Chains A and B, each alone.
Chain A
Amino acid sequence: MTAIRISRRGLLGSALALPFIRGASAQGSEAYVMGTLFPLSGPNAEYGTVFTAGAQLALQHIEQDKMLKRPIRLQAEDTQALPQQAVVGMNKLVNVDHANWTLVGFTAVSKAVAPIGDRAKTIMVNGGAVGPDLSGLSPYFWNVIPLAHLETRALLPYLVGQKGAKRIALVYVDDPLGDAILGILRNELPRAGGQLVGSFSVPRTAQQFGPVAARVRQVRPDAVYIASFGAQQSQIIKGLRDNGVSQLLCSYSAMNLDSVRTLPEANGLVFTGQKMDFEGGDELTRRFAQDFQKAHGKAPTIYNANYYNGTRLFALLAQEIEKANGQVTGDSLRETLLRIRKFPLVGGIGEFDDHGNMMAAIEVKEFRDGQAHHLAG
Chain B
Amino acid sequence: MDLMLVLQLLLGGLQNGALYALTAAGFALIFGATKVFHVAHGAAFTLAGYVFIYAWNAGWHAAIGVAAALAIAVLFGIGMERFVYRPIQRHEGSFFTVFVAAFGVSIVVQNLVGMVAGRGFASVDSSLSQGVEVLPELFLAPVFWVAIGTAILLFAALTLFLSRTHAGVALRALAQNPDLLRAYGLSSSRLSILAFALGSALVAPPAVLMAMTTGLNEAIGNHVMLLSMAATMVGGIGSLRGAAVAGVLLGVAESLVLLVLDTQWAEAASFLVLFGFILFRPTGLFGVVAAK
Contacts and interface: CB of A to CB of B under 8 A. Distances in A.
- Chain A's interface: helix, strand, loop or mixed, by majority? helix
A214 B258 contact: yes
Nearest to B2: A218
A33 B137 CA distance: 57
B220 interface: yes
A231 B216 CA distance: 8
Given A206-B266, A208-B16, A215-B258, A41 B120 contact: no
Given A41-B110, A244-B131, A257-B120, A214 B214 contact: no
Contacts of A206: 266-267
Interface in A1-46: 41-43, 45-46
B123 A238 contact: yes
A231 B266 contact: no
A49 interface: yes
A203 B120 contact: no
B130 interface: yes
B214 A208 contact: yes
B120 A211 contact: no
A234 interface: yes
A105 B184 CA distance: 62
Contacts of A212: 258, 263, 266
B258 A205 contact: no
Contacts of B131: 242-244
Contact of A201 (B114, B220, B263): B263
B219 A235 contact: no
A231 B217 contact: yes
Given A210-B255, A218-B5, A243-B131, A42 B219 contact: yes
B258 A239 contact: no
B93 to A, nearest CB: 30
B13 interface: yes
A235 B214 CA distance: 6
B121 A231 contact: yes
B110 to A, nearest CB: 7
A97 B110 CA distance: 28
Contact of B120 (A200, A231, A243): A231
A244 B111 CA distance: 34
A258 B117 CA distance: 13
Nearest to B224: A207
Given A200-B263, A242-B129, A46 B214 contact: no
Interface string A154-175: 0000000000000000010010
B223 A205 contact: yes
B141 interface: yes
Interface centre among A202, A210, A231 (most CB of B within 10 A): A210
B137 A217 contact: yes
A263 B125 CA distance: 8
B223 A239 contact: no
B218 interface: yes
B277 interface: no
B118 interface: yes
B182 interface: no
B12 A45 contact: no
A259 interface: yes
Interface string B7-40: 0110011011000000000000000000000000
Interface centre among B110, B120, B214, B266 (most CB of A within 10 A): B120
B281 interface: no
Interface centre among B9, B16, B223, B264 (most CB of A within 10 A): B264
Across the A-B interface, give the 8 residue pairs with the lowest CB-CB distance, nearest first. Answer: A46-B120, A45-B119, A234-B121, A244-B139, A231-B217, A231-B121, A259-B120, A210-B12
17 contacts: A201-B263, A207-B214, A208-B16, A208-B254, A211-B12, A211-B13, A211-B254, A211-B255, A212-B266, A213-B139, A214-B258, A218-B2, A230-B121, A238-B123, A242-B131, A243-B139, A263-B121
Interface of A: 41-43, 45-46, 48-49, 171, 174, 200-203, 205-215, 217-218, 230-231, 234-235, 238-239, 241-244, 257-260, 263-264
Given A214-B139, A230-B121, 11 more contacts: A41-B119, A49-B119, A202-B266, A205-B223, A211-B266, A212-B258, A213-B139, A214-B8, A218-B2, A234-B123, A238-B129
